């Protein structure tokens, strides 16, 4: 019985290795363009840098995509939409955060309205540093992500399932804050 | 004896499905490469679509939107497989009957209806818009296509695809329908209809990724999208084969023997490849029509061209 199970596990391992091989060679992304990062995407996709030669294409909807590319700062309001988009994607799914805004707030480090660390709210597999990163940097990041997928290290989606309550708690904290602020403003207007 | 015959037919059916998907996926990959070269890009490797399908089929979560959503894929794939069975491939036809030229037209409509069911079940407004556009497109390209089909039927005095192919293969390339002047213009109209059937630009209105987020496919992900890609691969083969059967003699160049069957198969493969490359080149060089422009294009210009060929053929036959 044990041997049989071991056999099954082996087979499963081999299958998942094959699946990872296929998955790394065809990364379909949906790019969530906030802020100035959107400008860098057309040269990456079109004839100058041509990301399609690595199997990277942009998809129309989150349901069809594997990679969520977040290009720039996120206000609390956009964060809600990002989380919605992320949860609509089919796992295995990966997140690439783009630019220093997603790492530490970037030039919005002291803003009351943007989030500073994206990793608190959704699992990020890879960061691209820079303000702005060049198209070469983006393609470099994708190749790094392929390597991570091949080694089985890009496990952000599993982390999100495992620590769902903690992610939700973090998300709820900023959203509640936002709601309270709105209520305060409403009260001020009433006075 | 009957059982063995049945088993052989099922084996051939499976072989057809495998050949259809492999050829279709290969062509789609080559098509992406060609489009990339037109755009002055390097483009993905030619086997990219096989990787894409493997990835989609190995996805861990697959969200369904109810049993109609699941059934829609079965509808599409079985409809297109049935169409493929009725089409002569290199002269060899698995199922045949009188009037199968009409039947194929009806069978080609089944996948579109399956699409409509699935998109309706997903409840996404983009999908609804996409399906509406797809049905309008079907309505528009089928008029010129049916007129050219009627012209062929009148000329060869038959409603069977097998007979049309046989009549065209009597004298090799010289007896192909496309060598005759009335059918040259009919072939032009039919090729434009084919462009619409394949949903390539300028007629990719139903899927328009930048307008309505890929239309009917908007809620399809994971394994569902993977099977949809398989459907698209088979559809590509079936639709180009229909054109080759009608105008290019079905790729039949030799008549008897095993060697002839193999050569005919490869000639058929070459012909559908040429046809596909033509449609890809048109797709790479034209932007998308609006739906009313496409409708006008088919019903005003293409239908008139097809009607001219029909009248011409009719006069030829009466003489």
Residue A14 lies in a domain: no
Percent of chain B whose pLDDT exceeds 90: 12
Mean pLDDT, residues B150-157: 88
Mean of all residue pLDDT scores within chain B = 85
Residue of A57, A63, A160 to mutate, interface with B, max B Cβ within 10 Å:
A63
Chain A: nearest CA to B56, how far in angstroms? 8
3-state secondary structure at position B236: helix
User: Would residue A4 count as lying in a domain?
Assistant: no
Q: Is A52 on the interface with B (CB under 8 A)?
A: yes
- Which residues contact residue B194 at a Cβ distance below 8 angstroms, ignoring those fewer than 6 apart? B239, B240, B242, B243, B275, B279
Q: Are A87 and A186 in contact (CB under 8 A)?
A: no
Q: Which residues contact B216 (CB under 8 A, 6 or more apart)?
A: B115, B116, B118, B119, B127, B130, B131, B134, B206, B207
Residue B91 clears pLDDT 80, i.e. is over it: no
Average pLDDT over residues A132-153: 88
Residue B233 burial (10 A CB sphere; 0-12, 13-18, 19+): buried
Mean pLDDT value of segment B18-22: 87
- Work out the pLDDT band at B259, boundaries 50, 70, 90: confident
- 10 Å Cβ neighbour count for B296? 14
Give which of B28, B36, B55 to mutate to test A binding, by max A Cβ within 10 Å: B55
Taking residues B73-92, what's their average pLDDT? 84
The DSSP call for residue B171 is T
When CB atoms are compared, the residue of A23, A50, A54 closest to B55 is A23
Cα B42 off chain centre by:
28
pLDDT, tens only, A85-117: 998 888 888 999 888 888 888 888 888 888 888
pLDDT confidence tier of residue B280, bands split at 50, 70 and 90: very high
Number of domains in chain A: 1
pLDDT at site B16: 81
Residue A162 belongs to a domain with what CATH number?
3.40.50.12280
Residues A50-84 have pLDDT tens digits of 888 888 888 888 888 889 988 888 888 888 889 88
Residue A191 is predicted with a pLDDT of 64
CA-angle at A136, arms to A135 and A139, nearest 5°: 85
Chain B positions in Cβ-Cβ contact with residue A22 (cut-off 8 Å)? 51, 54-55, 58
Q: Does A61 contact B225 at a Cβ distance shorter than 8 Å?
A: no
Q: Which of A47, A51, A145, A24 is nearest to A95 (CA)?
A: A145
Are B75 and B65 a contacting pair, CB within 8 Å? Answer: no
Closest residue in A to B212 (Cα) is A60
Q: What is the pLDDT of residues B212-242, one digit of tens each?
A: 888 788 888 888 888 888 888 988 999 899 8
> Does a structural domain hold residue A17?
no
Chosen for mutation from B28, B58, B215 (greatest number of chain A CBs closer than 10 Å) is: B58
Query: Which residues of chain B lie closer than 8 angstroms to A23, CB-CB?
Result: 55, 58
Tell me how far CA of residue B91 lies from CA of A46, A87, B187, B249, in angstroms: 43, 50, 20, 8
When pLDDT is cut at 50, 70 and 90, the band that residue A1 belongs to is very low
Residue A178 lies in a domain: yes
Q: What share of chain B is helix, strand, coil (3-state, %, to 5)?
A: 75, 0, 20
pLDDT for B180 equals 82
For residue A184, the enclosing domain spans 24-190
Calpha distance B207→B230 (Å, rounded): 16
Asked if the bond preceding B316 is cis, omega within 30° of 0, the reply is no
- The mean pLDDT of chain A is 83
């Amino acid at each position: 019985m044990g041997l049989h199970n071991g056999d099954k596990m082996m087979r499963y391992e081999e299958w998942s290795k094959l699946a990872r091989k296929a998955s790394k060679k065809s990364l379909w992304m949906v790019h969530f363009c906030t802020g100035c990062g959107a400008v860098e995407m057309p040269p990456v996709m079109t004839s100058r840098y041509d990301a399609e030669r690595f199997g990277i294409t942009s998809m129309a909807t989150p349901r069809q995509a594997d990679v969520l590319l977040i290009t720039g700062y996120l206000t609390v309001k956009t964060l809600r939409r990002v989380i919605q988009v992320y949860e609509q994607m089919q796992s295995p799914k990966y997140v690439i955060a783009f630019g220093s805004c997603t790492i530490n707030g970037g030039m919005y480090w002291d803003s009351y309205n943007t989030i500073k660390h994206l990793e608190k709210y959704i699992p990020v597999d890879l960061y691209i540093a820079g303000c702005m990163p060049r198209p070469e940097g983006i393609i470099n990041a994708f190749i790094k992500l392929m390597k991570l997928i091949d080694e089985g290290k890009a496990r952000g989606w599993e982390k999100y399932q495992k620590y769902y309550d903690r992610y939700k708690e973090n998300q709820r904290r900023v959203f509640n804050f936002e709601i309270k602020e709105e209520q305060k403003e409403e009260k001020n207007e009433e006075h | 004896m009957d059982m063995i015959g049945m088993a052989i037919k099922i084996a051939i059916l499976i072989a057809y499905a495998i050949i259809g998907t492999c050829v279709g996926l290969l062509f789609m990959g080559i098509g992406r490469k060609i489009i990339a070269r037109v755009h002055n890009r390097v483009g993905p490797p030619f086997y990219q679509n096989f990787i894409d399908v493997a990835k989609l089929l190995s996805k861990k979560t697959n969200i369904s939107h109810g049993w109609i959503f699941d059934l829609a894929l079965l509808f599409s794939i079985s409809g297109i497989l049935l169409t493929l069975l009725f089409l002569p491939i290199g002269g060899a036809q698995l199922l045949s009957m009188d009037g199968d030229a009409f039947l194929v037209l009806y069978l080609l409509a089944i996948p579109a209806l399956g699409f409509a069911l699935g998109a309706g079940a997903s409840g996404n407004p983009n999908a609804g818009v996409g399906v509406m556009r797809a049905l309008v497109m079907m309505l528009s390209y089928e008029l010129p296509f049916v007129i050219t089909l009627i012209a062929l039927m009148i000329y060869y005095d038959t409603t069977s695809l097998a007979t049309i192919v046989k009549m065209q293969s009597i004298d090799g390339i010289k007896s192909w329908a496309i060598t005759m002047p009335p059918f040259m213009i009919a072939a032009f109209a039919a090729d434009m209809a084919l462009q619409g059937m394949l949903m390539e630009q300028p007629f990719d209105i139903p899927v328009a990724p930048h307008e309505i987020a890929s239309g009917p496919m908007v809620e399809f992900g994971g394994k569902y999208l993977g099977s949809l890609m398989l459907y698209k691969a088979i559809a590509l083969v079936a639709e180009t084969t229909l054109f080759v059967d009608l105008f290019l003699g079905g790729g039949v160049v030799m008549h008897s023997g095993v060697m002839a069957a193999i050569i005919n198969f490869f000639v058929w493969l070459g012909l559908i490849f040429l046809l596909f490359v033509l449609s890809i080149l048109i797709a790479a060089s034209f932007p998308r029509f609006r739906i009313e422009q496409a409708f006008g294009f088919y019903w005003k210009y293409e239908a008139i061209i097809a009607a001219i060929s029909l009248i011409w053929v009719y006069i030829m036959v009466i003489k």
